[in-house]
Chains A and B, each alone.
Chain A
Amino acid sequence: MKIIGSLFILFASTAAGLILARRFRDRPREIRQWRSALQSIEAEIIYGRVPVDQLAEDLSKQIPSPLNYFFTLLSTQLRKKGLPLQEAWLNSVEQFWPRTAMKIPEKEIILQFGTTLGTEDAENQKKHIQLALAHLEREESDARQSQKSNEKMMRSLGFLTGVLVILLFI
C-alpha cells in the first residue's frame, strides 16, 4: 500500500516537473516559429503584394502546429466574419494565447505588430516587420538563456520533490 502511494506521488511530481520544463523548452521554439512566419509574411508582402486574408490562409497550411492554429483563426475571422484586420488580429491573439508557452513580452510584440499590419505601403511594412523580428530575436535569446538554466533544473526538481515528499511521509 505504502509503495503504491509513494509511486503515485513520485509519478505526479515528476510529471509536473516535466510539464514545467516543457514550457521552458517550447518557448524559444515557438518564438522561432513566429519569426519564420513573419519572414514569410515579409516575403509575400514585398514580392507578391498578397493581401492579409490570403496570407493568413496560406500560412495556416504551411506552418507547423501550434502556430498554424493562430493563422486559421485569423483567416476565419477575416473571411467568414468579415471583421476589420486590427480587430481580427486582437481576437485571434487572445484566443490563441492559452495554447502557447510564450510570455507577456512576446504577446506585446505581436499585438504591436498587428496594429501596423496592412496600414502602410510595402516599404514601411517591411520596416515594421524588421522591427518585430528584432524584438522577437532578443526575446528568443532570453528564452534560450532561461531554457538552459531552468529546463534541466525543473525536470530534476520535480523528481526530487517527489522523493522528498515520500521520505517525509515515511
Chain B
Amino acid sequence: MNEILPYLPEPFQQIILRMPEKERSMLEEIRCRTGRPLELIVSGNQWLPSDNSRMPIFSREQARELLQKIGKYSLYTLEEELKRGYVTIQGGHRIGLAGRVITERGHVLRLRDVTFFNIRLAKQKIGAALPLVPFLYNRRRWFNTLLIGAPQTGKTTMLRDLARLVSEGIAERYIVSRKTAIVDERSEIAGCVNGVPQNRLGARTDVMDACPKAEGMMMMIRSMSPEVLIVDEIGGLEDTAALFEALNAGVTVMATAHGFTFDQLTQRPSIRPLIDAKLFDRFVVLSRRSYSNQAGCRLTILDQLGRKMSATEGVWQ
C-alpha cells in the first residue's frame, strides 16, 4: 500500500488513508479515469465512503502527472510498457493503462494519451496453495498440473504460491526444494522490477520476465535446467508445442488456463491435444464463491482423465 500512495494525487491519498482499516486491507483495485470520480474496488465490489461524500474527480493534469511519476519523470523508459499497456512497479503492483493508441500498419505502436489507469494491488497470499499439496505431490515428485479458472478466480495467486512451495520445499512434510523456472510473460507471477522479483518465490527460482511463453519455455529448458517449469495462461498453439517439448523432456510443468470447467477446456483446440496425450496428471478447477461479502474460492481437483478426486472450499481474505 505504501508503495502505491506516493503515485496518487493528494486528494486520492486522503480518501484511501481515511478508509477503515479492514476495508483498506481488502482493497483490490484503484481505478482512475480522466474526468470521472475515483473508483475503489474492495473484494470485488465498488466501495463508497460511508458518509456519502463525493469521490474526487481525476483531472487531465493529474493523469499526466501520474504517468510521469510512474515513469520516474522519464517517459522514454516506458516505451515497452506503453506498447503492452501495463506497468509493473515496485512491490509487484500492476498498473493497467488505456487511452489513445497510435498504430502503425495495423499494429499497436504505443499508447499516447493515457487517460485510464487501473492500479491492481498485488497481494501475495502465502500459503494459498497449501491445501493442494497432498494432491500434487507424490513419491518425491510434483505432478504436472493445470490450473483452470475464469478471470479473477485466483489462478495466478495459486500458481505463485505453488512456485514458492516448489522452490522452498516444505520441511515438515519432507518435501525437498526443487529448481524452479518461471516464464512470466505478463510480469504477474513474480512481479519483476528490472528483472528482480518483488514477490516471495523461494531461493531456487529463476524468472524469465516479460518473455513470450513458447520461446521462454524453450529458453529455460535449454539454459537453466529447471526441475519444475511454471507458466501462466497457456492457450496458443505455439504454447502447446513448447509444452509437449517440456513435458517430454522430463520437466514438470505447472500452468494455468482460462476456462470455467474441465469440459469446456477439452473443447479448446489448442489444449485438447495436451489432455488427450495425458500429459497433465492433475487438473485443479477454481471457481469464485462469496461468503457473506467475502471473496472465496472453491477448488476441485481432477485426475489425469478428468475424474473428480476432491473438492475443498476456502475463504481468500
Q: Which residues of B contact A84 (CB under 8 A)?
A: 65, 68, 73
Least CB distance, A141 to chain B, in whole angstroms? 30
Number of residues of chain A lying within 8 A (CB) of chain B: 18
Q: Are A51 and B110 in contact (CB under 8 A)?
A: no
Decide if B127 is an interface residue (CB 8 Å cutoff).
Answer: no
Q: Say if the beta carbon of B241 comes within 8 Å of chain A.
A: no
Classify chain B: how many residues form its interface, as a range. 10 to 19
Indicate which residue in B68, B73, B76 contacts A78 across the interface (CB closer than 8 Å): B73
Q: Are A85 and B73 in contact (CB under 8 A)?
A: yes
Please name the residue on chain B nearest to A123 by beta carbon: B76
| A51-B73 Cα distance, complex, nearest whole Å | 7
- Would you call B79 and A52 a contact (CB within 8 A)? no
Residue B72, interface by CB 8 Å: yes
Determine the distance from Cα of A90 to Cα of B72 in the docked complex, in whole angstroms.
17
Nearest A residue to B110, CB-CB: A121
- Taking CB atoms, residues of chain A closer than 8 Å to B72 are 51-53
Bitwise interface map of A from 113 to 143 toward B, beta carbon under 8 Å scored 1, else 0: 0000011111001000000000000000000
Q: Are B110 and A52 in contact (CB under 8 A)?
A: no
Q: Is the CB of B74 within 8 A of A118?
A: yes
Closest to B65 in A: A84
* Chain B residues numbered 42-87 whose CB sits less than 8 Å from any CB in chain A: 65, 68, 71-77, 79
State which residues 62-85 of A face B: CB under 8 Å. 78, 82, 84-85
Q: Which residues of B contact A (CB under 8 A)?
A: 6, 65, 68, 71-77, 79, 110
A interface residue numbers (CB < 8 A to B): 45, 49-53, 55, 78, 82, 84-86, 118-122, 125
The list of the 4 closest CB pairs from A to B, nearest first, reads: A85-B73, A51-B74, A122-B76, A51-B72
